[in-house]
Amino acid sequence: MVDALTISSTGMNAQQTMIDIIANNLANINTTSFKKTRVNFQDLIYAAVQQGPDATQTLPILGLGTSIGQTQKMFAQGDLKATDRILDLAISGDGFFEIQLPNGNKAYTRSGSFQVNDQGYLTNNDGYLVGNGIQIPSDVEDLVFEETGLVKARLAGDKDLSVLGEISLTRFSNNSGLLPIGDNQYQATRASGDAMVYQPSQNNTGLVAQGYLETSNVALVEEMTNLMMAQRAYQINSKVAQVSDEIMSLINQIKR
């Protein structure tokens, strides 16, 4: 019975973590470019229940419960939503925008809701430079982000567009290995591999879509179904703990 209590407690702990992750997914259902998290369970080590009389005989074994083996970000493409804002950019493909952090490190994001700071540089909502720094003159009358990454503008008094710079996109060999650091940003790790910078449309990085933002890839129906399954699994494990406690109570009441 002690084993049953321990095993059921591992099940409840694992399902509680599952519920927490589902809650975070649902909380971010309207977060721009949010990528949902998936939980992978794994069973714990096994213990021998009894010694077989023959050394070649397969021994009966008892599993000692379950645990969270891995949480994994799912980088499936979200839908593109039109905003008609010229500084809103979405990626149709697997790439990431590169962001320069204040400490000199680089972060990567799928969120393309950009701004122009007081010096005219393109930044994200936190004021961090996008890419290597693209400066937009104050007298711009028309600003165009081409799907291949070129940034063009028509300045006051000009008839033709001038090239201001280029937005590159970054890819990784394993997106699931990226480290989430909040604010829709990720950092490279050994598991993700090194950042590989390409021009949009090259090596499956995707194309840049001006006037669009990528929505969250959280599916409400799927998450609600997972929530109900996790709740039922938690209830079943708690029932095992309750039954084990009742049996131990009966054993303690046995009189000689």
pLDDT digits (tens, 9 = 90+) for 68-120: 888 899 999 999 999 989 999 999 999 999 999 999 899 999 999 999 999 99
For residue 256, pLDDT over 60 is answered with no
Pairing of strands 46-48, 61-63: antiparallel
The span from the CA of 141 to the CA of 135, in Å, is 14
- Which two structure tokens, joined as six digits, stand for 125? 């909502």
The span from the CA of 107 to the CA of 180, in Å, is 10
What's the predicted TM-score (pTM) here? Answer: 0.84
Angle at CA of residue 124, ends 223 and 119, nearest 5°: 170
